[in-house]
Amino acid sequence: MNEKPDSIANRKRNGPRYLRLWLILVAAVFLVLLIVTQLLPGGQRSFSDWLQPVLFLFGVSLGVATAVLGVWVVGRWVCHWRILKRVLLAGAGLIALIALFYAEEDWRGWHSWNQFSAHGKPKGNSSIWPAWCRRRCRTNRTLR
């Protein structure tokens, strides 16, 4: 009898947990990449030599952490049976449309080539493409 209405204000928020997980992933990937690059040969370097690669590694670690967390969140969302059925049905439909497109284009090209060959043979034209190519210039002539 004392049920509270389900409002947005009363819901448990997962934002801080996801942010914490994202920050941990960024730090872990950055440190792993930094350690791996330290093992590369090249000798001692100054800070100014390392600044640009470190910034690049930080950008890569941001991207990797965002991708991993995004795949995890979307994967949890898709794993519900009702949603998974819809996603699989939409994916199968998309694959079928792509297969139909390629099959139609393949048939159209085959049909056009056969028509071209059939119309050219009575006139004495060859449908073999090397017969259409120009002859090579003689090697003793200059192209000036």
Kindly state the percentage of the chain with pLDDT values over 90.
16
Structural contact between residues 69 and 26, judged by C-beta atoms closer than 8 angstroms: no
Let me know if residue 75 belongs to a domain: yes
Spatial neighbors of 68 by CB under 8 A, at least 6 apart, are 25
Structural contact between residues 72 and 17, judged by C-beta atoms closer than 8 angstroms: no
- How far apart are alpha carbons 99 and 81 in whole angstroms? 27
- Split into its structural domains, the chain has a count of 2
The amino acid sitting at 128 is: I
Task: Say what the pTM is.
Answer: 0.42
Q: What tens digit of pLDDT does each residue of 46-87 get?
A: 667 777 777 888 888 888 888 888 888 877 777 788 888 888
Let me know if residue 135 belongs to a domain: no
Let me know if residue 139 belongs to a domain: no
Residue 104 has a pLDDT of 95
Question: Residue 107's domain spans which residues?
Answer: 80-123
Regarding whether 111 and 97 lie in a shared domain, the answer is yes
Structural contact between residues 61 and 30, judged by C-beta atoms closer than 8 angstroms: yes
